[in-house]
Structure 1
């Protein structure tokens, strides 16, 4: 644990921890939930929330900002990419905003990383954009959340047309873990966040209440995994997600991605969900074209800012 030199306002303190106690994790989750209700979007990603528990994790640091002993803000720093700058997410409790806490957390993150950092602004809110400007960060990535209706009045879903020799089955926990992790790494070799998932990351997700192997589809050719579509159901919002969709390099270009997308969307529709969502980078026109052709449209955007150094 280290103390951050950011206690400019009387009563404010920031500490940096390698792991959180269960009590601290619960307090951070409650703060994130309170902010989500106010903002309409979640300031800390699923991966970040999963990393609150389970002991220390390589490259993960937690910054807790308190004001007179009350948790007012939280930031998570992930320094696991061997090439890219560390990535961060931060949130301030809605009732304690306007006091410089966001700037204090941002300054602490810059100090922790030697002013080399990437910071997510989920939902692209104006306050987050202003904070990025104040901290001297520049926009470099736009992640779009797309949505489409699935109900009876929605545009019809296409019939899956699998390439020759490809069959699809559902994931078997334990038996398919290693093969899927290897396929995921190959399919997302260009994507530092998704492609670096480990067994621990997979176990974290399989332990969540939403996990359902019946919605996790594997495409095989001659017994080898060539693609996959992992769906997720957000039960409270009644939204189904194209959670992870990947096609291995040797199987790309034959329509497998579109077929797997259709299979997953049909599964979500059969569950009675009225809406489907997915995330795609704005600088991926090929994927955007495919998804827009399936009836998806932009719902909101997440922005990532970074230092120039």
Structure 2
């Protein structure tokens, strides 16, 4: 179902309450964007208490039938009262959520989420690390140049198709990032945080796009509560790899953020991407938080009414 205006307002309050209670958002950026501006492939399920107050919200992204993404959050005051279990029962009965083709994200890897996943027979299958470079880290290495490559900034309304094409090749292995569309880019261009000057593009002498570094600035999230920068996406065309372009683009973006007074920077990376993790560690990043994906096994079934609710 699509949320009503009242549901949407209540969900926004729930999102803020969970972020305050848990120190992390229970939903990813795509889910929150879909709430604000529906994509057409997001499903919403809300649960309310006896008093009518919103108890939980589940977002289901069915944009990729073979990779359905489920994210659920339960209001702090209603946890361990069966709300998450009831939602799970409803979700697992949905024919779109098929074992082997759907997964549930637990942002922050909280114990309650792992307990619920275990009760539902879900298997831990991916880890996404949030790494942080603190403000007191060693100075950045100087920016590096790559022969025959020029770094400029995004030309809004012109460069999006090139970015999406390179992104698709660079992240062909990644179920979320590799599926980015031109509409996804343009949707983010409308967000308050978007800054074309922080969207760096590397081109060769003929003007072909070889890679990019898209940076982002959050109004809060730093250790002192102030703004924090983000290495949002770094993508290099596979045909241009092996030239040090990824490292050069990463440094260029970090220097751009430092130039804006943002020495504290975060990023997200797959835990098993050893080369990327090693690069980021050399630049002073350390693991700060973990998001976990739980996959539905072929033998997954809906929980019984008596199952405990350990959900977030």
The TM-score with structure 1 as length reference comes to: 0.89
Deviation at 1:83, TM superposition (A): 3.5
Q: Residue in 1 aligned with 2:85?
A: 103
1:160 deviates by 2.4
Give the counterpart of 1:123 among 108, 120, 133: 108
Deviations 1:47-66 (A, max 9, x none): 110011334513x2111111
Deviation per CA, 1:211-269, whole angstroms, max 9, x where unpaired? Answer: 11111100001201000000000112211100011000101111100001101111111
2:210 pairs with 226, 231, 240, which one? 226
2:117 to 115, 119, 132: 132
Which of residues 202, 206, 211 in structure 1 aligns to 2:185? 202
Contact 2:143 2:255 in 1 (8 A): no
CA 1:55–1:122 in 2, change beyond 3 Å: closer, same or farther?
A: closer
Q: Give 2:262's match in structure 1, choosing from 268, 273, 287.
A: 273
Q: Residue 214 in 1 paired to residue 214 in 2?
A: no
Match of 2:32 among 33, 38, 49: 49
Distance change >3 Å, CA 139–CA 159, structure 1 → 2: same
CA contact (8 A) 1:180 1:225 kept: yes
Query: Which whole-Å deviations, capped at 9, do the CAs of 1:145-188 have from their partners, x for residues lacking one?
Result: 11112x4x421211222321101001111111221122211211
Report which stretch shifted further, 63-72 or 207-216. Answer: 63-72
Partners of 1:218 and 1:228 within 8 A in 2: yes
Structure 1 runs not aligned, ≥5 long: 1-16
Counterparts in 2 of 1:1-309, with a 5 A limit? 17=1, 19-55=2-38, 57-58=40-41, 60-68=42-50, 69-84=52-67, 86-112=68-94, 113=96, 115-116=98-99, 117-149=102-134, 151=135, 153-221=136-204, 222-237=206-221, 238-309=227-298
Q: Is the 8 A contact 1:137 1:305 kept in 2?
A: yes
Q: Is the 8 A contact 1:120 1:303 kept in 2?
A: yes
Write the distance in 2 (CA, Å) between the matches of 1:182 and 1:82: 22
Distance 2:4 2:169 in 1: 35
RMSD of equivalent CA atoms: 1.4
TM-score using structure 2 length: 0.89
Change in 2 beyond 3 A, CA 1:56/1:299: closer
Residue 12 of structure 2 aligns to a residue in which SS?
Answer: helix
Q: CA offset at residue 124 of structure 1?
A: 0.2
CA deviation vs aligned residue, 1:85-105 (integer Å, no higher than 9, x gap): x11000011122121111111
* Structure 2 unaligned residues grouped into runs of 5+: 222-226, 299-312
* Contact 1:20/1:53 (8 A) holds in 2: no
Residues 115/81 of structure 1: CA separation in 2 closer, same or farther (3 Å cut): closer
Runs of 4+ with deviation above 6 angstroms: none
Shift of 1:82: 4.7
Instruction: Choose 225-234 or 45-54, whichever is displaced more.
Output: 45-54
